[in-house]
Amino acid sequence: QVQLVESGGGLVESGGSLRLSCAASGFTLDGYSIGWFRQAPRREREGVTCINTRVGLSRFADSVMGRFTISRDNAKNTVDLQMERLQPEDTAVYYCAAVIYREFSCPLVANEYDYWGQGIQVTVSS
């Protein structure tokens, strides 16, 4: 059974850091594109970053460029999201998602993804 589980969320002060992890079970992340999305109350789900594990490329939303990094841990079969200089507007439920993506990139559009985690809350206080 394919499953994605996020961990590492919580409450942090403005300017602080958090590291989220997306653990895959039932499949290996080899060949998949993994995306991180977030959804704040009364807002649409937005793409934050993604990585194509097949070609090693990643993309970032403008709002997180230079603050967030995405990386893969082969031994743990996880994709991690390191978030630095967090701001209150980063507050949201964060989701990871997976898809086998044939292009030489990775999508930042939610409806491109086949598998989703349950989401984890990140709250940044001002």
- Asked if 94 contacts 18 with a C-beta cutoff of 8 angstroms, the reply is no
CA distance 30 to 64: 25
Q: What angle do CA 26, 31, 32 make, to 5 degrees?
A: 65
Give the model's pLDDT for residue 102: 84
- What confidence score (pLDDT) does residue 1 get? 82
d(CA 63, CA 58): 15
pLDDT at 101: 86
Kindly give the confidence (pLDDT) of every residue in the chain, 126 residues in length, as a single tens digit, with 9 standing for 90 and above.
889 999 999 999 999 999 999 999 999 998 999 999 999 999 999 999 999 999 989 999 999 999 999 999 989 999 999 999 999 999 999 999 999 988 889 999 999 999 999 999 999 999
Q: Output the pLDDT for position 16.
A: 98
Alpha-carbon Rg for the chain in angstroms: 13
Return the DSSP state at 121. E
Beta carbons of 90 and 83 less than 8 angstroms apart: yes
